[in-house]
Structure 1
Amino acid sequence: MKKISLRFLLAILLLSPVMMKAQLKSAATPLATLQQQFVDLRFGMFIHFNIPTFMDQDWPDPEAPASIFNPAKLDCNQWAATAKAANMSYGCLTTKHHSGFCIWDTKTTDYNVMNSPLKRDVVKEYTTAFRAKGLKVMLYYSILDTHHKLRPHSITQKHIEMVKAQLTELLTKYGEITALIIDGWDAPWSRISYDDVPFEEVYRLVKSLQPNCLLMDLNAAKYPAEGLFYTDIKSYEQGAGQHISKESNKLPALSCLPINTAWFWKTNFPTTPVKDPAKLVNDNLVELNKVWCNFILNVAPNRDGLIDDNAVAALEQIGKLWKPQGQLPVLPAGETPIISSNLAKHQPSNSSWSDDMNIMDFANDDDFKSSWQSNKTVKQPWYEIDFDKDKSFNMVTILEDGNNIKKYHLEYNENGIWKPLAASKSEGRLKIHRFDRVWGNKVRISVDECSAAPAIAEVGVYDERR
């Protein structure tokens, strides 16, 4: 039998009756409403269960055979009952982790659960079990895929087609998906950029398949806490040192933590104490909910496909200590997520006088931890992006290192003439300007008033589809 190309498969999926039904469903709920509904869910279960479960590793050999995936007593109903006992409101399952093994019946690759001894669609069993308990369903999906060689400097168009085809399967075969959690994409450790695998194309595909599915990327290691860059929900991985500000957060957020010492099951888990239920409730769940942050606690099923007794007991104790108390306060009004490519990234730049260690290219190097800083003696600092030709754009973002710029104005150059853009309006470090599309070959930020030498961590110029 000839292999079906991924491009052909994607075309078939997009024309399928299930797909058409998804596209013809009621109009999309406003994003702000979906974000509020997400934080109101408060508490859920992350379920890391995949090939790593059977290798005592979180990052297993990408060539591990499908034959090792053999959870002989798999019972997703036990997972759902345990989540319900903890007063959780949803689950999220690792459909594909970084080593590329798919635990659903996919037509995109032979490296999947149907070619394992189990030969059962785990995603289907999970979604059915959780919905039977009245729990919402979310899915996790890794862009980084070491088995299929989808990794830095090796990405091809076929990889992008595979991603789209797999997401199409996941969002058309398993009913309503409340949220899709993406990982391994534009993180410092994965090094797969939003240009290598085009974020906006994937984002719009997800919304076309399920308009009310939130898409969140676990990218807080790179992007600033003040804005929704390439995600509908701001996410924080506590074990990686990412912690939400309990004083200043105003964004819909998610914080994740494993109840064990690692994400995937390890042979010592049954005899190693899990995290203290009272601390998980008082130090995480209660405190995070106060700042519009949903808490997702990872529970790793063992090689039989069951949650260990010590984790089950801890979750039952959590359910006795905590019960949801209705909706959270209304989220502050916020900016629409940024999903387009940054046209300013790595473009030639210029500026008023700055010391060499803080020179102009640090403000568009795609690194939010470096910055251009004006020499303190300059009275009217300016910073400029110089494109190689005219480009269309309709948004400019400025992220300060500090908060010293008090007044500024934006201009763009069209045919040698500088023209004004939107006047400053945003408060705080991150300033976002959306405006009607213009064409120009340069963008300039002129600082009119500052409390100290201004420093800019990153400038963004975008051409959003609207």
Structure 2
Amino acid sequence: MKQLDERLIKIVPSARQIMMQKTEFYAFFHFTVNTFTGEEWGHGTESPEIFNPTRMDADQWVEAIKAAGMKGAILTCKHHDGFCLWPSKYTKHSVKYSPYQNGKGDIVKEVAEACKKAGLKFGIYLSPWDRNQETYGQGKAYDDYFVAQLTELLTGYGDIFSVWFDGACGEGPNGKKQVYDWLRYYDKIRKYMPDACIAVSGPDVRWCGNEAGDTRDSEWSVVPADLSVAERVAALSQHEDDPSFRQRVISSMEQDLGSRERLAKEQDLIWYPAEVDVSIRPGWFYHPEEDGKVRSLDNLLDIYEKSVGGNTTLLLNIPPMPNGLINETDVKRLRELGEEIQKRYGKNLTDGALIQVKEENDWKAVDSVQKDDYETYYQGIGTQAEFKISFHNPQKISSVILKENILKSQRIEAFEILSMINGNLVNIYVGTTVGYKKIARFPQIESDILIIRILDSRMEPTFSFIGIYE
């Protein structure tokens, strides 16, 4: 077991993966001709004439997501219908041939500039499946087309933090299918945007396994290398709009991706953190009949705490309306979400508290876990550790945030949190993995002492941050 653990902790994140995990929470904007037809997956036969958002306001989009605490946005620059939200010189299926701003508009530019102005990161989604392009299914001819459009986006819109590919791969003309040249796409991204993460059908960030907002109890970032090709294999990709992808709960077969038992016989391992992608509405594109079906605040908070607080990032889709604005119901819900997150996690109760760690039966003060960075951190001696947080006065406490120093890999397998209540230590939370960030939430207690015990770790456990919140 020790040899296995020593092998596992050698797997660490790249600088771009660390950047992505620190981004934590960001938006998806699904917007194209589908917004005007009511479709989820367009057919590629739609006329550009239908695309005309008369009140288009990218600043409103960005203000709405910033109010929720998001740190970036990814725009569907081109979905499966092949309609381009920028004036690509390689197709007539774009905003250039639409009534929007008399053919002079560029939605990609507007959103990129709105993000930059607001201090948010900007990312792109470019569907590898183009139902409008006649060369689809012709091998290199289509790949040349796709790479040309990818290059336009990578070189024309400033810094890009994420390039998001799904694995959709359907039939083209006469039943032909395209075998995507993924490595060629990746090389182009690394050339022009070396700091960008390539997500889902890519080597940097993996899909969590569903689009319903479900998360695993134990989420590992060190996983079998084969997972990095799963979404790129045509046989496993999504061939049509299937609501089960949005509603399917993670199966028991998929629950364990990174335990010691799961990885014991794996030869090749990688750092491949998960991203939870989910829409604020039932669909990914705007449908007026879903105005009354926006996710509740409680549901969004639950998804946030289990994803961002469960060693994944959260990509929340906010679909603009045909007029080019985010619906007021969505705007209001995002504002409520941001306010509640700030209310719950805005004030760290460890300020002024005494944090100690038990080493060789002695309690020693440790202040290296109070600053949220990797410059200061605590590393234990054995595979277990015990921390005590003492307050001057009893505090009302509902949650604890724990962070490992992932520069040292992901190590913690099991932990528990106890509270001193009426002179007795009471167990208030039991958890497994920590990783980049763990939010442990429990019914509110009042106490002047908390104990955090690491019960099992692959090697000496590390903590870069401990936060206590009301």
- Would you say 1:159 and 2:142 are equivalent positions? yes
- 103 and 231 in structure 1: CA distance in 2 versus 1, 3 angstrom threshold: farther
The question of whether the paired residues in 1 share the 8 Å contact of 2:282 and 2:293 is answered with no
**Counterpart position of 1:13:** none
What amino acid is the match of 1:131? K
**Counterpart position of 1:280:** 300
Q: How does 1:351-370 map to 2 (within 5 A)?
A: none
Q: Describe the SS at the equivalent of 2:165.
A: strand
Q: How does 1:171-250 map to 2 (within 5 A)?
A: 171-185=154-168, 196-218=179-201, 220=207, 226-227=224-225, 228-230=227-229, 239=246, 241=248, 243=250, 245=255, 248=258
What amino acid is the match of 1:308? N
Q: How does 1:318-329 map to 2 (within 5 A)?
A: 318-323=337-342, 328-329=403-404
1:353-409 Cα distance to aligned partner (Å, 9 max, x none) = xxxxxxxxxxxxxxxxxxxxxxxxxxxxxxxxxxxxxxxxxxxxxxxxxxxxxxxxx
Determine the C-alpha separation between the residues in 1 that align with 2:145 and 2:297. 40
**Counterpart position of 1:331:** 406
Q: How high is the TM-score relative to the length of structure 2?
A: 0.57
The question of whether the paired residues in 2 share the 8 Å contact of 1:36 and 1:330 is answered with no
Determine the C-alpha separation between the residues in 2 that align with 1:62 and 1:187. 12
**Counterpart position of 1:259:** 280
- 330 and 150 in structure 1: CA distance in 2 versus 1, 3 angstrom threshold: farther
Determine the C-alpha separation between the residues in 2 that align with 1:203 and 1:185. 17
Determine the C-alpha separation between the residues in 1 that align with 2:338 and 2:255. 26
Determine the C-alpha separation between the residues in 2 that align with 1:186 and 1:242. 23
- Would you say 1:62 and 2:62 are equivalent positions? no
Determine the C-alpha separation between the residues in 1 that align with 2:193 and 2:84. 21
Q: CA deviation at 1:39?
A: 1.1
- 313 and 140 in structure 1: CA distance in 2 versus 1, 3 angstrom threshold: same
The question of whether the paired residues in 1 share the 8 Å contact of 2:166 and 2:200 is answered with yes
The question of whether the paired residues in 1 share the 8 Å contact of 2:129 and 2:169 is answered with no
Q: How many residues align?
A: 299
What amino acid is the match of 1:268? E
The question of whether the paired residues in 2 share the 8 Å contact of 1:51 and 1:60 is answered with yes
1:99-145 Cα distance to aligned partner (Å, 9 max, x none) = 10000121111111111011310000000001111111111110011
CA root-mean-square deviation: 3.6
- Would you say 1:138 and 2:123 are equivalent positions? yes
Q: Describe the SS at the equivalent of 1:200.
A: helix
Q: Describe the SS at the equivalent of 1:59.
A: coil
Determine the C-alpha separation between the residues in 2 that align with 1:320 and 1:238. 30
Q: Describe the SS at the equivalent of 2:125.
A: strand
Q: Describe the SS at the equivalent of 1:318.
A: helix
What amino acid is the match of 1:176? D
Q: Describe the SS at the equivalent of 1:91.
A: strand
Q: Describe the SS at the equivalent of 1:229.
A: helix
Determine the C-alpha separation between the residues in 1 that align with 2:125 and 2:339. 28
Q: CA deviation at 1:186?
A: 6.1
Q: CA deviation at 1:238?
A: 6.6
Q: CA deviation at 1:242?
A: 6.2
- 192 and 312 in structure 1: CA distance in 2 versus 1, 3 angstrom threshold: farther
- Would you say 1:38 and 2:20 are equivalent positions? yes
Q: CA deviation at 1:281?
A: 1.4
Determine the C-alpha separation between the residues in 2 that align with 1:187 and 1:216. 20
- Would you say 1:100 and 2:82 are equivalent positions? yes
Query: With CA pairs under 8 Å and 6+ residues apart, which has the higher RCO, 1 or 2?
Result: 2
Q: CA deviation at 1:225?
A: 6.5
Q: CA deviation at 1:292?
A: 2.3
Q: CA deviation at 1:251?
A: 3.5
- 126 and 144 in structure 1: CA distance in 2 versus 1, 3 angstrom threshold: same
Determine the C-alpha separation between the residues in 1 that align with 2:176 and 2:15. 31
Determine the C-alpha separation between the residues in 1 that align with 2:332 and 2:135. 39
1:151-177 Cα distance to aligned partner (Å, 9 max, x none) = 5xx233221111110010000000110
What amino acid is the match of 1:261? P
What amino acid is the match of 2:155? T
Gaps in structure 2 of 5+ consecutive residues: 1-11, 211-221, 233-237, 239-243, 260-270, 347-371, 374-402, 411-457, 459-470
1:177-232 Cα distance to aligned partner (Å, 9 max, x none) = 001001235699xx998x8221111111110111111112347569x964451499
Q: CA deviation at 1:74?
A: 0.3
Q: CA deviation at 1:65?
A: 0.2
What amino acid is the match of 2:48? A
Identity of aligned residues (%): 26
Q: How does 1:18-29 map to 2 (within 5 A)?
A: none
Determine the C-alpha separation between the residues in 2 that align with 1:247 and 1:156. 34
- 334 and 161 in structure 1: CA distance in 2 versus 1, 3 angstrom threshold: farther
- 161 and 333 in structure 1: CA distance in 2 versus 1, 3 angstrom threshold: farther
Aligned counterpart for 1:293 among listed residues 292, 312, 333: 312
The question of whether the paired residues in 2 share the 8 Å contact of 1:183 and 1:217 is answered with yes
Q: Describe the SS at the equivalent of 2:164.
A: strand
Determine the C-alpha separation between the residues in 2 that align with 1:240 and 1:184. 18
Q: How high is the TM-score relative to the length of structure 1?
A: 0.58
1:329-357 Cα distance to aligned partner (Å, 9 max, x none) = 3337679xxxxxxxxxxxxxxxxxxxxxx
**Counterpart position of 1:338:** none
The question of whether the paired residues in 1 share the 8 Å contact of 2:87 and 2:94 is answered with yes
**Counterpart position of 1:377:** none
**Counterpart position of 1:49:** 31
- 114 and 226 in structure 1: CA distance in 2 versus 1, 3 angstrom threshold: same
The question of whether the paired residues in 2 share the 8 Å contact of 1:255 and 1:295 is answered with yes
- Would you say 1:309 and 2:291 are equivalent positions? no
Gaps in structure 1 of 5+ consecutive residues: 1-29, 336-426, 428-466
Determine the C-alpha separation between the residues in 1 that align with 2:80 and 2:200. 14
Q: How does 1:68-147 map to 2 (within 5 A)?
A: 68-118=50-100, 119=103, 120-147=105-132
The question of whether the paired residues in 2 share the 8 Å contact of 1:215 and 1:232 is answered with no
Q: CA deviation at 1:146?
A: 0.7
